[in-house]
Amino acid sequence: MTTQQNPVTYAKAIQAALTTIVTPVPVYATFNRNFATEPKFVTWMLRNIHQPVYTGSYQSVKGIDTPVFQISIFTQVIEDGFTISNQILQSLHGYSGLFGGATYGIQISKADVQWLYNTYDNDEKLGQVILDCTLDIPT
């Protein structure tokens, strides 16, 4: 019977992949933006890990893991946020292969990226672009 991967495995791969795509912009996992001092930075949050569970006589047959993570791009200039978002979209949308590089990478069938929305926070003086990324990972 195949088992679902550990969320730590996904987290390391996501951090490594995003860091590679947007360097030199800093990337944080679940970073509290209220303490941000950078003019632009990226955060991500693992929102869902799902693997179909089959019942009956074929319980050992598994489908695909589909972790979903949200990416938030924060910038003082909204155009910078759009540019960083485009970098992520161009690099990840439709990607298949080793996600996260040689050290923390996992093989994925496909990455699907959706631009959810963009906004501006007057209190923080930061523009924000929100993306969703779903990874299809064969088990």
Residue 82 has pLDDT above 90, yes or no: yes
The strand pairing partners of 132, in sequence order, are: 70, 114
Tens of pLDDT, residues 19-52: 999 999 999 987 665 566 789 999 999 988 776 6
Confidence of residue 4 (pLDDT cuts 50, 70, 90): low
Domain containing 104 equals 7-138
Tell me, what's the pLDDT at 1? 41
Tell me whether residue 2 is in a domain.
no
- Is residue 122 situated within a structural domain? yes
Of the pLDDT bands very low, low, confident and very high (cuts 50, 70, 90), residue 76 is: very high
- Helical H segments across the chain, by residue range: 7-22, 78-92, 101-104
User: Is 1 among the domain residues?
Assistant: no
Cα 86 to Cα 97: distance, rounded to the nearest angstrom: 20
pLDDT at 35: 60
pTM here is 0.86
Q: Which one is predicted more confidently, 56 or 134?
A: 134
Residue 86 covered by a domain: yes
Are the C-beta atoms of 63 and 52 separated by less than 8 Å?
yes
Cα 111 to Cα 137: distance, rounded to the nearest angstrom? 9
CA distance 46 to 54: 24
- Specify if 49 maps to a domain: yes
State the pLDDT confidence band at 115, using cuts at 50, 70 and 90.
very high
The structural domain count of the chain equals 1
Determine which of 9-18, 47-56, 112-121 has the lowest per-residue pLDDT on average: 47-56
CA–CA distance, 94 with 133 (Å, rounded to integer):
10
CATH code of 48's domain: 3.30.2000.40
Mean pLDDT for the stretch of residues 84-97: 96
CA distance 137 to 123: 39
